A and B are shown apart, each in its own frame.
Chain A
Amino acid sequence: MNVLKKLKYALMTNLIGKPYLRIERKKSEKKIAKLFNPDSPLNPPLKITAYTKEFVSSHYFKGRYIEGVKPVAWVTSGAPIEILKALGFFLIYPENHAALCGARKVQMDLIKTAEKEGLSNNVCSYVRTDIGSLLSGRTPAGKLPKPDLLLACSNICQTVLHWYRMLEKHLNIPLVIIDTPFVYNEIEPHQVEYVKKQLLHSLLPVAEKIAKKSLKEKELKKVIKFSKDATELWLEILNLCKEKPSPLTVFDQFVFMAPIVEMRGDRETVDYYNEMYKEVKSKVNTRKGALKRERRRLLWDNLPIWFKMRELAVKMAERGISIPISTYTYAWGELAPLMDLKKDEFEVIAKVYLSPILNRGTGHKLNTMVKMVKEFKLDGVILHSDRSCKPYSMGQMDQRNRLIEEFKIPAMLLEADQNDENAYSEEQIAIRIESFFEMLGVSYG
């Protein structure tokens, strides 16, 4: 049986999948060319943009035929996946999948399905999108493979704990929860010890049992190395955006960051970011910015508004507003230096996954923002107050006030949601954005 499945997988992904995705890439290249006509306030995007779609789609495409070939795990974005990767797991990230639904604008139907089944509209819209997809079977990815294991880590929010418990009940499969205590200032040795213990004693035995093999140190080292290399490259790419004009905007980065989340630990991901680095670097060398004219530079805080990405990108670019960086895209790069290959792997993993921005105090985020404003030579901050993501949005009111009062950095709160269009009021948001731009001395016509 498994041999048959393996054959089918090889056939579908290599013989059919690859050419099919290549045709899709050609199509998106044409579409992109059309969008970036001479009147567009944006310069044409990186060549790698069309490939990004192919690259990410290839992952989902493999997923369609993976059942029975490799063990499958559904994991949270901040889960210690290196251990699973080293054991040969195929991974699905429901959060990324929800973001994909949002970016393709198919999320509202899924959200409605989930709400009809009783999920409150106060629950994170990623959860509603994914549960809606699970219950209805609808997904822009074609089909998501059924998992054998669920892995949730509390380093991003408490929501995922409830979400994954719901999945556990519905799918009737094992769930491992890794509890990462909140880091107020510095990571304490006892916290590392605590997380390490869970990795060794909760996650490892269950994962090994499902994978039917034991973890090899060599494999784990290899995966961590790939994770580290990709993350480092990502950080270097983002640091190139300190240049004026910025070669990328945050709207590009939101798309380009997908592989760093859902395909980290793979060799291909390192190659992908290598290519991207070269292209971005050459843009910097020729001083070609993402915008045709960059008049002001801003920082974005929090998740994107997936269903409004293009509109917002154009609206900002029309006024010469560039957003070269965000706390969200940068957060992934910041983990790179922690991946010390010389140290004990489990200790490194514990430290890395204790460190995400959402697992740290609001003061840490404020300091990060202030530092970024300086380093990226920014003129102000847009704080997206995301109704869904409470941990990211908590403290923004104070952060905004302190940015203005203590650091004399103009800042604005933008109330919206990453996926739920019902929390987005078009006219009000337009007025806020326009007023903020006028305040920065960039007025509309």
Chain B
Amino acid sequence: MVKAMGIDVGSTTVKVVVIDKNKKILFKHIENTKPRIKEQVKEVIGKVKERFKGEDIPIISTGYGRKLVEEAKKSMTEITCHAKGIYYALNTTGTLIDIGGQDSKVIVVEKYGRVLDFTMNDKCSAGTGRFLENTAARMDIPVEKIGEIALKSEKEVKISSTCTVFAESEIISLLAYGEEIGSILKGLHRGLITRIVGMINSVAFTPPLMLSGGVAKNRAIKEMLEEETGYSIKMPEHPQLIGAYGAAIISLEQNI
């Protein structure tokens, strides 16, 4: 049976997806990125091959470490793969927001998952998952919880530093002045969302809005983005896997 594999080697996690010829996901896997990426990738792919023994599955790699995947036939950028992946995951054109650990991107997706326009926040961590992760760590709260806490808070304090490092010291002083954790977290989310909205405004935006990346699991991000933009946001079933899924689809298309 025809199959294809996509592997997304990101700065935070490595994601693998295997699909069949109808683009249905047969296998998926996520693990944290380790310092020795080459070896890690080899091992991961080895395990997948083990599972689909005897089958020749073509691989396309993507993500920051895409060039380190020796087993891949080809590597493609995250932009191309995300566009492809989201188009088939949600069956629609539109504008995808992907908030990853290291960068965020906004991609305008056309028919068949072609890219019409894109922009990236790659200069500064303030619009990325790292921004939330770092500050959550500062407050000693697990990152999975911060969205819920932020949403529960009625009050919201303004965090004026857009820089992750400076925001950290700002938070410390806010805490020292007795501000509630919830309202600080809400302010932090607002800071990130404002950045993302700026990016959306700078591309050739077409609705609907779609969301992917690890941060998509955070409910506050989705809700606050909807509130800021006035559009409801569509989410795929596996937001973190969109890049790998897109890579697998491209691999499939190129091998049929």
Chain A residues in the interface with B (C-beta under 8 A): 397, 401, 404-405, 410, 413, 415, 425, 427-428, 431-432, 434-435, 438-439, 443-445
With a cutoff of 8 Å between Cβ atoms, the chain A residues found around residue B118 in the complex are: 435, 439
Decide if A443 touches B123 in the complex (CB within 8 Å).
no
Collect the chain A residues with CB atoms within 8 Å of residue B203's CB.
401
Does any Cβ of A come within 8 Å of B120's Cβ? yes
Q: A434-B77, A444-B76 are in contact. List 12 more A-B contacts (CB 8 A).
A: A397-B202, A404-B204, A428-B103, A431-B79, A431-B122, A432-B120, A435-B80, A438-B76, A438-B115, A439-B79, A439-B118, A444-B74
B117 surroundings in chain A (CB, below 8 A): 404, 410
Partner of B116, one of A404, A413, A432, A443: A404
20 A–B contacts, CB within 8 A, in A order: A401-B203, A404-B204, A410-B117, A415-B123, A425-B122, A427-B64, A428-B103, A428-B123, A431-B77, A431-B78, A431-B120, A431-B122, A435-B78, A435-B80, A438-B79, A443-B76, A443-B80, A444-B74, A444-B77, A445-B75
Name the A residues within 8 Å of B204 (CB-CB).
401, 404-405
Kindly identify, within residues 58 to 79 of chain B, every residue whose CB is under 8 Å from any CB belonging to chain A: 64, 74-79
Bound Cα distance A428, B79 (Å):
12
Find out whether the CB atom of A401 lies under 8 angstroms from the CB atom of B122: no
Return the chain A residue nearest B77 by Cβ.
Answer: A435
A-B pairs with the 9 shortest C-beta distances? A435-B79, A428-B122, A435-B77, A439-B115, A438-B80, A404-B204, A434-B77, A405-B204, A404-B117
A60 to B: closest C-beta gap in Å: 37
Given the complex of chains A and B, what is the CA–CA distance between A432 and B119 in angstroms? Answer: 9
- For the complex formed, measure the closest distance between the CB of A441 and the CB atoms of chain B, giving whole angstroms: 9
Among residues 90 to 125 in chain B, which have CB atoms less than 8 Å away from a CB atom of chain A?
103, 114-120, 122-123
Q: Which of A413, A415, A427, A439 contacts B80 (CB 8 A)?
A: A439
Q: With A443-B74, A443-B76, A443-B80 known to touch, is A401 a contact of B202 (CB < 8 Å)?
A: yes
What is the CA–CA distance of A404 and B79 in the complex, to the nearest angstrom? 17
Q: Which residues of A contact B119 (CB under 8 A)?
A: 413
Taken together as a complex, chains A and B put the C-alpha atoms of A431 and B62 apart, in Å, by: 11
Q: A428-B122, A431-B120, A439-B115 in contact; A445/B79 too (CB < 8 A)?
A: no
Residues of B within 8 A of A434 (CB): 77
Residues of B whose CB lies within 8 Å of any CB of A are: 64, 74-80, 103, 114-120, 122-123, 202-204
Question: Closest Cβ of chain A: how far from B59's Cβ, in Å?
Answer: 14
**B67 CB, min distance to chain A CBs, angstroms:** 9
* Closest Cβ neighbor of B115 among chain A residues: A439
Could you tell me the distance between the alpha carbons of A435 and B78 in the complex, rounded to whole angstroms?
A: 8
Q: How far is the CA of A397 from the CA of B201 in the complex (A)?
A: 11
In the bound complex, CA of A198 to CA of B64 (Å): 56
Task: Please report the C-alpha to C-alpha distance between residue A174 and residue B193 in the assembled complex, in whole angstroms.
Answer: 54
Measured between beta carbons, the chain B residues less than 8 angstroms from A444 are: 74-77
The complex places the Cα of A363 from the Cα of B122 at a distance, in Å, of 28
Residues of A within 8 A of B123 (CB): 415, 425, 428
Q: Which of B64, B77, B103, B122 contacts A438 (CB 8 A)?
A: B77
Complex Cα distance, B76 from A397, in Å, reads 26
**Chain A, residue nearest B81 (CB):** A438
What residue of chain B has the Cβ atom nearest to residue A441's Cβ?
Answer: B114
A413, B199: Cα distance in complex, Å: 13
| Distance (whole angstroms) from the CB of B213 to the closest CB of chain A | 16
Residues B120 and A428 in contact, CB atoms below 8 Å apart: yes
Report how far A443 CA is from B250 CA in the complex, Å.
Answer: 12
A434 vs B79: C-alpha distance when bound (angstroms): 9
Measured between alpha carbons, how far is A439 from B103 in the docked complex, in Å?
Answer: 19
Residues in chain B near residue A438, CB distance under 8 A: 76-77, 79-80, 115
**B79: nearest residue on chain A (CB-CB)?**
A435
Determine the distance from Cα of A168 to Cα of B78 in the docked complex, in whole angstroms. 51
Q: Which residue of A lies closest to B83 (CB)?
A: A439
A384 to chain B, nearest CB (A): 15
Of chain A, the residue at the smallest CB distance from B120 is: A432
How distant is B110 from chain A, measured CB to nearest CB, in Å? 10
In this complex, which of A410, A428, A438 has the most chain B Cβ atoms within 10 angstroms of its Cβ?
A: A438
Q: Which residues of chain B are near A431, meaning CB under 8 Å?
A: 77-79, 120, 122
Q: How far, in whole Å, are A425 and B202 apart by their CA atoms in the complex?
A: 21
Q: Chain A residues near B202 (CB, 8 Å)? A: 397, 401
Alpha-carbon distance between A435 and B62 when the two chains are bound, in angstroms: 11
Question: Which of A410, A439, A445 is the most central at the interface, judged by chain B CB atoms within 10 Å of its CB?
Answer: A439
- How far is the CB of A395 from the nearest CB of chain B, in Å? 13
Given contacts A397-B202, A401-B204, contact A435 B115 (CB under 8 A): yes
Docked Cα-Cα span, A343 to B219, in Å, equals 71
